A and B are shown apart, each in its own frame.
Chain A
Amino acid sequence: MAETVKVCTQNFGKGAQDIEVYKKLGGYANISERLFNMSQFELIDYVQRSNLRGRGGAGFPTGMKWSFVPRGTGKPVYIVVNADEGEGGTFKDHFLMMEDPHRLIEGLIIAAWALGSRAAYIYCRGEFLPCIESLNKALNQAYAAGYLGENIMGTKFCFDIFVHRGAGAYICGEETALINSLEGQKGQPRLKPPFPAVSGAWKSPTCVNNVETIMSLPWILQHDPSEYAKMGTPRAGGTKVFCISGDVKNPGVYEAPLGTPMMTMINDYAGGVVGGKLKAVLPGGSSCAPLTAEEAAVATMDYECLASMKTMFGSGAMIIINDTHNMVDLLNCLGNFYSHESCGQCTPCREGTGLLHRILNQIVAGNGHDGDVELMQSLCGGFGGVTICPLSISLGGPVGSYSAKFRADFDEYIAKNPDHAKPRIQETSRPGIFW
């Protein structure tokens, strides 16, 4: 494999948590006259030209997102960093914040310059207390060095960063739920429109960006935007921090250009599949459709290719599954997860994810029946496009795709029930009882 340019992970293992080390490695070089001479509009255009797309999962172009933020409304503009990563298989933000907190701060100053923010909040999930400690330590150093606070480096620009500790809710990774959580409410997604870029936190324009997106900015600003755009695919520029987990020799965080073939990621970066033969790959976190070994052989890791294969790139979290696993066990795992993490707002998701989990539990416990799979597929049909956020589809999608691609695994489990062919008792048709 070719040596790739490291945009976000260049300081890994170099002790960049300390500001002096970080500065020696070229950090905070952007916070200089070059940035201060740029207008907001120029900087947004700069990022747009770099073709940077949001790294949180949805892949929305960052520059375009910023350009939606209205200016001159008199309301403050907030930047909120989404560090609430909690999707199965995703762990890049954890290590990015642990290893290089100053890069996040530097990126935030650049983003704040573009948007005119006075305050930014880093919404970090509650489980990442070591990350919060690392960030707070870095913030203390940055304040002491004058990179944050009032009149940064002698300009009129003032900027503060606060770390907000979440308290355990996967759904807060959805941007409006995250904003609700930041406001001290339950982390339940809001109805849209209005979109956060217009009316977000405290009814002010708010830009929610992923950690990795913000951490790409210092590199982009140091180089020409075309250089970053060149590294990726035509529709999404740059490198991506991939998280590889599951049955591989060396699971971990790897930075590679967008469009790298999937098998290169698995074999060259992660050292190959262990424990058996490759059975399936989840290319973009736990909620995406799995690719079979044959599909994985031809897939490349970018937004377009994976979308064309009816799965998604998501946050670039690859989960590799070998042939010793039964997919129903893993689906049950997801049922557990999504039924636990549903915010309880929309009816289909609140009641449906729990019901699916109970059906999956029955199948795994050896009480499955013929028709359970069809029932689950039908129930998942009730999720499609009807809820405020896509959490219900995050379970509904896998139920559909797992059962379509790995039907034999389901049948294997259902066959364990000696009565699996017994029809459902039609209690409702008993005379005299109609409820």
Chain B
Amino acid sequence: MRDHITGAVQFVSNNHLKFDRPAQPIEALPDPAETFGHVNKIQAQPSAKEVLAKLDTPEIKARCADLLSRYPVGQGALLEVLWLVQGVFGWVPTEGIRWAANVCGCAPAHALGVATFYTMYNHAPKGKFLLQFCRNISCTIKGAPSLIAYVEQALNIKTGETTPDGLFTILQVECLGSCGNGPMMLVNDDFATDAEGDNLTMKPGTTLTKESIDRILKWCYAHENNMPKHDVLGGMVKGHGGHPGAPGATAKPQVADYAPPSPVLNVKAEADETGATLTWKGAPEFTKIVVEKKSGNDWVAVGEPGVKDKAFVDAAGKVGDEYRMIATSGERVAKPSNVAVTTQKPAPVEEKKV
């Protein structure tokens, strides 16, 4: 079958029919979305100037310096810097992504890929109260779909939409990690199953109900102008020295000898007719191991097994002899291992045949 097709193609390509035309430059045709209509609303983006004006504050600069000092490569701070942008605007405008990329020293296209990969970065402004409802399995079992329908009806918007007054946006999200309280929700950054006085609460054993949703919405209306404000990165930590080598970091690399050198562990000695056989557990960094045997009150070196060896035989060993091992790692000599008293090697157990 395929030979036949190949043959046909060769036949066509070898004939000299002139069904071609002179080279014609292809102009880009109009965007079909312009003809048929866009599926999604195109978000108007603020200009670079506006974005930079808002981001060029001493506080943001200090935060960026703190973040960059934490990672050996600037790109590591990308997610956190994008959070800072979202903290300022409530969403990440395109120019904000470019700014974040410049701060972290990576390509803007890379930052775009990152900003669109993670779902918590908003690419369009959201309402003042972002209501995120968990729709995952545990919450669904406990009736999340009907509660979401209730909120949609109460606010007269669908999931993903914002109320005309710009107060609420409803989102359905995947597991919020509070299944024990399911169904539950996030109001901006606060977990909530209820509202009490000035606070949103999620007490153990409580779940979201229609009544508690009403209370939460009431709380939202009451706090329209005095929303509890969270730092997008949960506040700054003072006192850290950053990552060694990062810009602005004062930290020095870990010294190799902060911990005592490793001793030989789990030394056991068993004697049979060939002498005493020592087994032990050694660390990979050992450079030398010395086996010592107790003779009177002194320890006498009896051998030096290789660092990769699994066992050592002291031909003169017998039951009751005491052994210990001393390991050296590089220049450092470790404390002696436990003292192993030689025991009689048990007779090999014959394997039962099945």
Direct A/B contact, Cβ within 8 angstroms: yes
Chain B residues near A166 (CB-CB < 8 A): 79, 118
Render B187-212 as a binary contact track against A, CB cut-off 8 A, 1 for contact: 00111000000000000110000000
Contact with A along B207-235 (1 / 0, CB 8 A): 00000000000000000000000111111
Cross-chain contact B175 with A88 (CB below 8 angstroms): yes
Q: Which of A169, A182, A333 contacts B76 (CB 8 A)?
A: A182
In the complex, whether A79 has a CB less than 8 A from a CB of chain B is: no
B239 contacts chain A at the CB level, 8 A cutoff: yes
Chain A, 11-43, contact with B by CB distance < 8 Å: what is the 0/1 string?
000000000000000000000000011111110
Q: Return the CB mask of A79-118 against B: 1 if under 8 Å, else 0.
A: 0000001111111011000000000000000000100111
Interface majority SS (helix, strand, loop, mixed), chain B:
loop
Residues of A contacting B244 with CB < 8 Å? 76, 118-119
Select the stretch in A241-249, A302-310, A410-418 that faces chain B: A241-249
Q: Say whether A133 contacts B113, CB under 8 Å.
A: no
Do A185 and B256 touch across chains, with their CB atoms under 8 A apart?
Answer: no
B191 contacts which of A87, A130, A132, A156 (Cβ < 8 Å)? A130
Query: Which segment, of A144-152, A354-362, A376-384, faces chain B?
Result: A144-152
Q: Is the CB of B120 within 8 A of A127?
A: yes
Q: Does A350 interact with chain B (Cβ within 8 Å)?
A: no
A429 within 8 A of B: no
Which of A157-165, A221-229, A230-238 lies at the binding interface? A157-165
The reply to whether A243 and B234 form a contact with Cβ atoms under 8 Å apart is no
Write the A244-259 contact mask toward B (1 if CB under 8 angstroms, else 0). Answer: 1111001111000000
Contacts of A163 in B (CB 8 A): 233-234, 237
Q: Select which of B110, B118, B262 is within 8 A of A126 by beta carbon.
A: B118
User: Are B179 and A133 within 8 A (Cβ)?
Assistant: no
In the bound assembly, the distance between CA atoms of A286 and B179 in angstroms comes to 11
When distances are taken between beta carbons in the complex, the residues of chain A under 8 Å from B96 are none
**Smallest CB gap from B253: residue in A:** A118
Q: Is B302 interfacial (CB-CB < 8 Å)?
A: no
Q: With a CB–CB cut-off of 8 A, which chain B residues contact A118?
A: 243-244, 251, 253-254
Q: Are B79 and A143 in contact (CB under 8 A)?
A: no
Q: For B238, what are the chain A residues with a Cβ–Cβ distance below 8 Å? A: 140, 143
- Residues of A near B333 (CB, < 8 A) are none
Produce 1/0 per residue, A337-369, CB < 8 A to B. 100110100000000000000000000000000
Chain B residues 233-264 with CB under 8 Å of chain A are 233-244, 251-263
Neighbouring A residues of B255 by C-beta, 8 Å: 156, 158
Asked if A132 and B233 sit within 8 Å, CB to CB, the answer is: yes
| Main SS at interface, chain A | mixed
A168 to B171 CA separation, bound complex (whole angstroms): 13
Determine if A187 is an interface residue (Cβ-Cβ < 8 Å). yes
- B121 proximal to A (CB < 8 A): yes
B33 CB → nearest A CB, Å:
22
Q: Does A6 contact B (CB under 8 A)?
A: no
> Which of B151-159, B160-168, B280-288, B344-352 is near enough to bind chain A?
B280-288
Q: Say yes or no: B263 contacts A160, CB within 8 Å.
A: no
Min CB distance B269 to A, Å, is 19
Task: Collect the chain B residues with CB atoms within 8 Å of residue A119's CB.
Answer: 70, 243-244, 251
A127 touches B176 (CB 8 A): yes
Cα-based distance from A36 to B177 in the complex (angstroms):
36
Chain B, range 54-88, C-beta contacts under 8 Å to A: 70-73, 75-80, 82-83
> Given the complex of chains A and B, what is the CA–CA distance between A72 and B233 in angstroms?
34
**One of A52-60, A212-220, A317-325 contacting the partner:** A317-325
> Are A164 and B80 CB-contacts (below 8 A) given A39-B261, A186-B114?
yes
Report yes or no: B283 in contact with A168, Cβ–Cβ below 8 A: no
Contact with B265, one of A42, A93, A149, A333 (Cβ below 8 angstroms): A42
Which of A36, A89, A187 is close to B137, meaning CB atoms less than 8 Å apart?
Answer: A89
One of B23-31, B138-146, B291-299, B313-321 at the interface: B138-146
A333→B113 CA distance, assembly (Å): 27
A63 to B94 Cα, complex, angstroms: 45
Question: When the two chains form their complex, are residues A158 and B252 in contact, meaning their CB atoms are under 8 A apart?
Answer: yes
B117 pairs with A319, CB closer than 8 A: no
Please give me the residue from chain A that is nearest to B76 by CB atom.
A184
Q: Which of B75, B79, B177 touches A90 (beta carbons < 8 Å)?
A: B177
| Contact between chains at A91 and B113 (CB < 8 Å) | no
Known: A39-B261, A88-B136. A143 touches B240 (CB 8 A): yes
Out of B79, B138, B179, B285, name the residue touching A184 (CB < 8 Å): B79
With A116-B258, A162-B240, A330-B140 as given contacts, are A130 and B285 in contact (CB-CB < 8 Å)?
Answer: no
Interface string of A167-210 (1 = CB under 8 A from B): 11110000000000111111100000000000000100000000
A337 with B72, Cβ < 8 A, contacts A165-B233, A244-B180, A252-B180 known: no
B191 touches A150 (CB 8 A): no
| Contact A86 to B177, CB < 8 A, known contacts A38-B259, A45-B281, A126-B120 | yes
Q: Which residues of A contact B73 (CB under 8 A)?
A: 183-184, 202
Known contacts A88-B136, A167-B83, A246-B141; is A40 also within 8 Å of B179 by CB?
Answer: no
Least distance between B336 CB and chain A CB atoms (Å): 13
Residue of A at shortest CB range from B178?
A91
Task: Given the known inter-chain contacts A162-B240, A202-B73, A245-B180, please indicate yes or no for A319 contacting B80, CB distance below 8 A.
Answer: no
User: What is the CA–CA distance of A125 and B136 in the complex, to the nearest angstrom?
Assistant: 16
A175 CB to closest chain B CB (Å) equals: 16
Partner of A247, one of B71, B142, B204, B260: B142
Q: Is the CB of A420 closer than 8 A to any CB of chain B?
A: no
* Interface residue? A136 (CB, 8 A): yes
Q: Judging by beta carbons under 8 Å apart, are B142 and A165 in contact?
A: no
Distance (whole angstroms) from the CB of A257 to the closest CB of chain B: 20
Asked if A129 lies at the interface with its beta carbon under 8 angstroms from chain B, I say yes
CB-nearest residue of chain B to A170: B174
Chain A positions within 8 Å of B281 at CB level: 45
B-chain residues with CB within 8 Å of residue A343 when the two chains form the complex: 117
The answer to whether B285 touches A252 (Cβ under 8 A) is no
A401 interface residue, CB < 8 Å from B? no
B106 close to A (CB within 8 Å) = yes
> B104–A184 contact, CB under 8 A?
yes
- Do B239 and A144 touch (CB < 8 A)? yes
Q: Which of B75, B234, B241 contacts A183 (CB 8 A)?
A: B75
Q: Which of B235, B239, B254 contacts A76 (CB 8 A)?
A: B254
Contact status A246-B118, CB under 8 Å: no
CB-CB nearest 8 A-B residue pairs = A143-B239, A184-B78, A132-B234, A168-B120, A41-B262, A167-B118, A245-B179, A184-B75
A-B contact pairs, 11 of them (CB 8 A): A88-B174, A91-B178, A132-B233, A136-B237, A149-B239, A156-B255, A162-B237, A166-B118, A187-B117, A246-B138, A333-B135
Binding site for B on A (CB under 8 A): 36-42, 45, 70-72, 76, 85-91, 93-94, 113, 116-119, 125-130, 132-133, 135-137, 139-140, 143-144, 148-150, 155-170, 181-187, 202, 243-247, 250-253, 282, 286, 317, 319, 321, 325, 329-330, 333-334, 336-337, 340-341, 343
